[in-house]
């Protein structure tokens, strides 16, 4: 007998080639196949009258074959099957090319169902290459496809595997199933693949969503509950805060005290610090590092790129250095001998705070006593990364900072395992950035404005979607724009920055811009996160239709950091509805949360949050957002279960534990 864990190759007609194609859909076993969710269902229950058909619509037609004829066509070097059918309303043509294999399929007088897109040919309605069957088909599931595997094949394979559904065990507790009148998992799987009526699909989905959310929440809660013991860091950060030249905002103060409380406790801190661009997260992190060092431990600060690491290094050295704290840096562009010296200082505890990229997590980087890790511009920190860290110190506290505003609805789902502090207030005195969207025609105006700002001592970013010109993509490239601007403004210093340049070159360009020696920086999105050059007051985004809302918001956040009035100019290369709509959102709002919500509306959550990396299917997340009430229900249940059985060791919870491990991986990594 077939078992759910069997490879799909046990199915007839599924050999190694097909298995490879299935693997691309994430299907390896019979169970995976049964859990492959249709992305849609086609309603093939009722046929339309031929007379009522409209060209362009997709429809099911039932007709009796009046005549059929296989003809040789010279121009196409093949044979054409031409069938005329009739229902009691009208006649219609059905056409197939290269159709010798259909020779005997349409005998006169036979009733046949055709499904396809209605077209017109010489004034007559026709269906070209429709699907056909000899009986009515009901609600037909439509599966996601990949090269090498067809819709009908998947349907056929699922039909052969469906008997196995009874062996699949759901992990929802019985009382939850009965309280919510849900079908069993086996029943839900049968209904989703072979529904009789639309209500069946709804019922099936409800069970599957409950199932998904329950597993998701249980996993998140497990991560949250299983807190490691760390060390208490009880030194005060007051000296640092009172030494600042400005007053912290209320939101910053709250974040600082959240973090201080976490650090003073024995449990390992796992906190996300969320704050819009420019909200002042760095100083909050610095106060935490100060506390760690004053408590006798070391701190590590990880930046997403080398450029940012350098920038933070300079700031930290300035801000923490005056309290006698030693700040070091490890960078990819350093000489090996320099690196070795720094590694040695770190290992012996001479360096208190180390700045670098994620390379800090690598082997060979040893600490004397690591107490805190700050991770800048990161959404999430997988459990495997946390484990690596825990080995580098005694479960050091972890502070993750992100400027990606996550709509609250999603935050519950994505950060269920973390504590969250939000900085929802900008430092006082910031001038609003003036944002304008223009078309190509207004380019001269844009350049005039640019020149004026720069001549008054300001600096500008020009961001392009491409590095170099491309035949395949119609968009402006950083190299092209760089040449154009260099020619147009020979009296100004224009520099180019993109991801394919050598590290040293990038660093040099960036340094020249932050020190004010470069007027206009033409770049790709490498400057997206974190760069802080307060004197820069113009951001021009070329072909802004190629950037997502969240990304544009990030880019815009690079200006408006100093005392100058700042401008953001979006140059539209296309006037598609969505491009215009996005530009409009940008000109109307500077609220990162609002923009993120709109981004979600316009693009769908999968794209926004890169759910591929997240390990959750797009459809799942979409489902999640519209089912927050279910989320509450399952969360309560999950809390109850974990209270009794925190590690899910109880045999009764075996299925749940397996499902959690399947979703998060055995080490419970859930990376974004
Ligand atoms: P982000 O949250 O984007 O990382 P930063 O930490 O880079 O923001 O802060 C942006 C700028 O605001 C920095 O130049 C910083 O010195 C300044 N800043 C931060 N907090 C305050 C405050 N409370 N008052 C005035 N300026 C501040
Ligand atoms: Mg920052």
Instruction: Report yes or no on 101 lying in a domain.
Output: yes
Confidence of residue 619 (pLDDT cuts 50, 70, 90): very low
Let me know whether 581 and 662 are in one domain.
no
**Does residue 453 have a pLDDT over 90?**
yes
Let me know whether 397 and 440 are in one domain.
no
Confidence of residue 397 (pLDDT cuts 50, 70, 90): very high
pLDDT of residue 409: 56
> What spacing in Å lies between the alpha carbon of 465 and ligand 1's midpoint?
28
Q: Which residue has the higher pLDDT, 445 or 402?
A: 445
Looking at the CA of residue 282, tell me the nearest atom of ligand 1: 6
The pLDDT tens digits of the residues spanning 118-143 come to 998 888 889 999 989 888 888 989 88
Let me know whether 266 and 390 are in one domain.
yes
Report d(CA 205, CA 519) in Å as an integer: 57
Helices (H) and strands (E) in the chain, counts: 24, 21
Average model confidence (pLDDT) across the chain? 86
Let me know whether 191 and 248 are in one domain.
no
SS3 call for 554: helix
Instruction: Report yes or no on 75 lying in a domain.
Output: yes
Q: Where in the sequence is the domain holding 463, given as residue range(s)?
A: 434-589
Instruction: Report yes or no on 519 lying in a domain.
Output: yes
pLDDT of residue 44: 87
pLDDT of residue 616: 43
Report d(CA 40, CA 35) in Å as an integer: 14
Of 224-233, 291-300, 384-393, 568-577, least confident by mean pLDDT is: 384-393
Confidence of residue 311 (pLDDT cuts 50, 70, 90): confident
Let me know whether 538 and 668 are in one domain.
no
Q: Which residues are CB-contacts of 651 (< 8 A; sequence separation ≥ 6)?
A: none
Ligand 1 lined by 427 (C-beta under 6 Å): yes
Let me know whether 460 and 569 are in one domain.
yes
Confidence of residue 613 (pLDDT cuts 50, 70, 90): very low
Ligand 1 lined by 275 (C-beta under 6 Å): yes
Let me know whether 397 and 262 are in one domain.
yes
- From 423, 455, 489, the end of a domain falls on 423
pLDDT of residue 118: 93
Instruction: Report yes or no on 573 lying in a domain.
Output: yes
Share of the chain above pLDDT 70, in %: 89
Report the number of distinct structural domains present in the chain: 4
The CATH number given to whatever domain includes residue 57 is 2.40.50.140
pLDDT of residue 256: 97
Q: Return the sign of the alpha-carbon dihedral for residues 126, 130, 133, 136.
A: negative
pLDDT of residue 452: 93
> What spacing in Å lies between the alpha carbon of 496 and ligand 1's midpoint?
27
Ligand 1 lined by 424 (C-beta under 6 Å): no
Let me know whether 410 and 359 are in one domain.
yes
Q: What are phi and psi of 61, to 5 degrees?
A: -125, 135
Ligand 1 lined by 249 (C-beta under 6 Å): yes
**Does residue 249 have a pLDDT over 60?**
yes
pLDDT of residue 183: 95
Q: Which residue has the higher pLDDT, 229 or 521?
A: 521
Ligand 1 lined by 284 (C-beta under 6 Å): no
**Does residue 432 have a pLDDT over 80?**
yes
Report d(CA 44, CA 39) in Å as an integer: 16
Tokens of 424: 């929802």
CB 94 within 8 A of CB 83: yes
The CATH number given to whatever domain includes residue 308 is 3.40.50.300
- From 82, 111, 135, the end of a domain falls on 135
Tokens 């210093």 appear where? 493
Instruction: Report yes or no on 2 lying in a domain.
Output: no
Question: What is the average per-residue pLDDT within 568-594?
Answer: 88
pLDDT of residue 462: 96
**Does residue 43 have a pLDDT over 70?**
yes
Q: Which residue has the higher pLDDT, 536 or 659?
A: 536
Let me know whether 521 and 567 are in one domain.
yes
Name the residue at shortest CA distance from atom 19 of ligand 1.
Answer: 280
The pLDDT tens digits of the residues spanning 512-571 come to 998 999 999 999 887 655 577 889 999 999 999 988 888 898 899 889 888 889 999 999
Question: What is the average per-residue pLDDT within 19-46?
Answer: 89
Instruction: Report yes or no on 233 lying in a domain.
Output: no
Instruction: Report yes or no on 61 lying in a domain.
Output: yes
**Does residue 628 have a pLDDT over 80?**
no
pLDDT of residue 627: 67
Name the residue at shortest CA distance from atom 24 of ligand 1.
Answer: 427
Mean pLDDT highest for which of 40-44, 87-91, 287-291, 574-578? 287-291
Let me know whether 438 and 565 are in one domain.
yes
Let me know whether 215 and 246 are in one domain.
no
Let me know whether 367 and 266 are in one domain.
yes
Residue among 280, 318, 427 whose CB has most ligand 1 atoms within 8 A, to mutate: 280
Ligand 1 lined by 274 (C-beta under 6 Å): no
pLDDT of residue 402: 84
Q: Which residues are CB-contacts of 433 (< 8 A; sequence separation ≥ 6)?
A: 556, 559, 560, 566, 567, 568, 590
pLDDT of residue 200: 92
Share of the chain above pLDDT 90, in %: 45
**Does residue 601 have a pLDDT over 90?**
no
pLDDT of residue 45: 86
- From 364, 399, 423, the end of a domain falls on 423
Question: What is the average per-residue pLDDT within 83-87?
Answer: 93
Tokens of 238: 């007051």
Q: Among the residues of 162-225, which ranges form H helices?
A: 174-179, 185-193, 198-225
Looking at the CA of residue 252, tell me the nearest atom of ligand 1: 23
**Does residue 650 have a pLDDT over 80?**
yes
Instruction: Report yes or no on 494 lying in a domain.
Output: yes
pLDDT of residue 75: 67
Question: What is the average per-residue pLDDT within 622-650?
Answer: 79
Confidence of residue 428 (pLDDT cuts 50, 70, 90): confident
Q: Which residues pair with 112 in a beta bridge?
A: 63
Exposed, middle or buried: residue 336 (CB in 10 Å: 0-12, 13-18, 19+)?
A: exposed
């Amino acid at each position: 007998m077939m078992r759910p864990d069997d490879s799909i190759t046990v199915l007839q007609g599924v050999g190694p080639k097909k298995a490879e194609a299935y693997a691309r859909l994430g299907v390896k076993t019979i169970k995976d196949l049964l859990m492959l969710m249709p992305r849609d269902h086609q309603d093939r229950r009722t046929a339309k009258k031929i007379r009522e058909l409209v060209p362009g619509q997709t429809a099911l037609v039932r007709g009796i074959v009046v005549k059929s004829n296989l003809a040789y066509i010279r121009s196409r070097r093949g044979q054409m099957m031409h069938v005329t059918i009739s229902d009691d309303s009208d006649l219609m043509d059905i056409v197939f090319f290269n159709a010798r294999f259909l020779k005997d399929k349409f005998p006169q007088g036979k009733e046949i169902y055709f499904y396809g897109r209605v077209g017109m040919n010489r004034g007559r309605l026709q269906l070209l290459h429709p699907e056909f069957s000899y009986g009515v088909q009901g609600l037909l599931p439509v599966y996601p496809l990949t090269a090498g595997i067809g819709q009908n094949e998947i349907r056929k394979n699922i039909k052969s595997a469906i008997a196995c559904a009874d062996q699949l065990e759901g992990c929802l507790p019985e009382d939850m199933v009965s309280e919510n009148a849900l079908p069993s998992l086996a029943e839900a799987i049968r209904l989703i693949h072979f529904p009789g009526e639309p209500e069946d699909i709804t019922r099936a989905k409800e069970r599957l969503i409950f199932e998904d959310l329950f597993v998701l929440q249980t996993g998140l809660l497990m991560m949250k509950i299983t807190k490691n013991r760390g060390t208490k860091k009880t030194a005060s950060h007051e000296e640092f805060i009172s030494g600042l030249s400005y007053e912290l905002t209320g939101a910053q103060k709250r974040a600082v005290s959240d973090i201080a409380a976490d650090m003073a406790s024995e449990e390992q801190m796992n906190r996300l610090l969320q704050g819009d661009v420019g909200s002042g997260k760095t100083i909050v992190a610095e106060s935490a590092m100060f506390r760690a060092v004053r408590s006798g431990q070391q701190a590590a600060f990880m930046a997403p790129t080398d450029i940012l690491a350098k920038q933070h290094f300079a700031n930290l050295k300035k801000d923490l250095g005056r309290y006698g704290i030693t700040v070091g840096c490890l960078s990819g562009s350093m000489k090996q001998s320099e690196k070795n010296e720094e590694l040695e200082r770190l290992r012996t505890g001479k360096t208190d705070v180390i700045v670098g990229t994620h390379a800090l997590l690598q082997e060979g980087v040893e600490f004397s006593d690591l107490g805190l890790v700050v991770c800048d511009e990161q959404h999430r920190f997988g459990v495997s990364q946390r484990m690596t860290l825990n080995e580098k110190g005694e479960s050091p506290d972890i502070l993750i900072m992100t400027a990606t505003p996550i709509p609250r609805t999603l935050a519950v789902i994505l950060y269920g395992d973390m504590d969250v502090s939000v900085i929802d207030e900008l430092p006082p005195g910031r001038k609003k950035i003036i944002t304008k969207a223009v078309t190509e025609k207004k380019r001269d105006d844009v350049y005039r404005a640019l020149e004026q700002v720069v001549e008054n001592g300001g600096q500008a970013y020009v961001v392009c979607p491409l590095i170099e010109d491309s035949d395949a993509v119609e968009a402006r490239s950083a190299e092209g724009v760089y040449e154009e601007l260099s020619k147009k403004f020979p009296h100004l210093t224009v520099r180019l920055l993109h991801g394919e340049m050598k590290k040293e070159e990038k660093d040099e360009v960036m340094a020249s811009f932050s020190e004010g020696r470069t007027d206009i920086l033409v770049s790709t999105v490498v400057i997206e996160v974190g760069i802080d050059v307060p004197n820069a007051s113009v951001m021009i985004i070329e072909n802004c239709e190629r950037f997502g809302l969240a990304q544009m918001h990030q880019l815009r956040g690079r200006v408006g950091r100093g005392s100058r009035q700042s401008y953001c100019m979006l140059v539209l290369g296309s006037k598609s509805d969505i491009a215009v709509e996005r530009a409009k959102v940008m000109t109307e709002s500077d609220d990162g949360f609002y923009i993120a919500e709109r981004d979600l509306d316009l693009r769908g959550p999968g794209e926004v949050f890169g759910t591929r990396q997240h390990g959750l299917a797009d459809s799942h997340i979409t489902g999640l957002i519209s089912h927050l009430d279910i989320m509450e229900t399952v969360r309560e249940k999950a809390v109850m279960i974990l209270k009794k059985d925190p590690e899910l060791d109880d045999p009764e919870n075996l299925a749940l534990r397996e499902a959690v491990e399947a979703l998060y991986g055995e080490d419970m990594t859930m990376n974004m």
